[in-house]
Amino acid sequence: QKEVEQDPGPLSVPEGAIVSLNCTYSNSAFQYFMWYRQYSRKGPELLMYTYSSGNKEDGRFTAQVDKSSKYISLFIRDSQPSDSATYLCAMSENSGGSNYKLTFGKGTLLTVNP
Amino acid sequence: EPEVTQTPSHQVTQMGQEVILRCVPISNHLYFYWYRQILGQKVEFLVSFYNNEISEKSEIFDDQFSVERPDGSNFTLKIRSTKLEDSAMYFCASSRDRGPAGELFFGEGSRLTVL
């Protein structure tokens, strides 16, 4: 079983829709969970991170973590055409080294149509 | 806004040649990283670097790879003898803290094509 699984999509929604993006993982040692956005030909850009089960909200974005099910989600409300990008989930253990040794999902390509 | 800059944006090389990819991390950052993304695949951790030494590396980062911070600003990834399977986008990243309270900033990437 792969460490982090993410449906690659592509996902196409109309402007204003609620988008749900998901990842599952198998490694119980993952403690930190992040969502990155990657525009074409650009580097990943951090959207949100969390380290506890539950919800975290930032504007139109909500990150949800369920450690018991090893499942994380990102919800985008009132989606905009500018949200069109690839969304990557990423996770890390609380190791003695850097917590930025990230394990990424494959990314979901999202298109929001005006 | 501070950013991580990478050069070159695209490099084409022949198999067996040495390649150096360069990065200028954000100036007050202390932790430096290389990740790579083979076309259509996941972004993968290669190596992290702190206080002038490697702090962690993945099994991908074998003896043909090396990293260096030759001066106060640049951070380089050297691939000694490139193979076809080294073709990928290489991302440099930096952070002020060891994480995760800080933030990991990625550059725009250097695309390496090995022929």
End-to-end Cα distance, chain B: 37
Q: How far is B26 from chain A (nearest CA, A)?
A: 14
Give the pLDDT score at A49.
Answer: 87
Greater confidence (A81 vs A51) lies with: A81
Neighbours of A63 (CB within 10 A): 22
User: B93 and A100 in contact by Cβ < 8 A?
Assistant: yes
The contacts of residue B51 (CB under 8 Å, 6+ apart) are: B30
As a whole number of angstroms, the distance between CA B8 and CA B81 comes to 18
pLDDT in tens, chain B (115 residues): 779 999 999 999 999 999 999 999 999 899 999 999 999 899 999 999 998 999 999 999 999 999 999 887 899 999 999 999 999 999 999 998 876 656 889 999 999 999 9
Residues of A with Cβ-Cβ distance to B33 under 8 angstroms: 98, 100
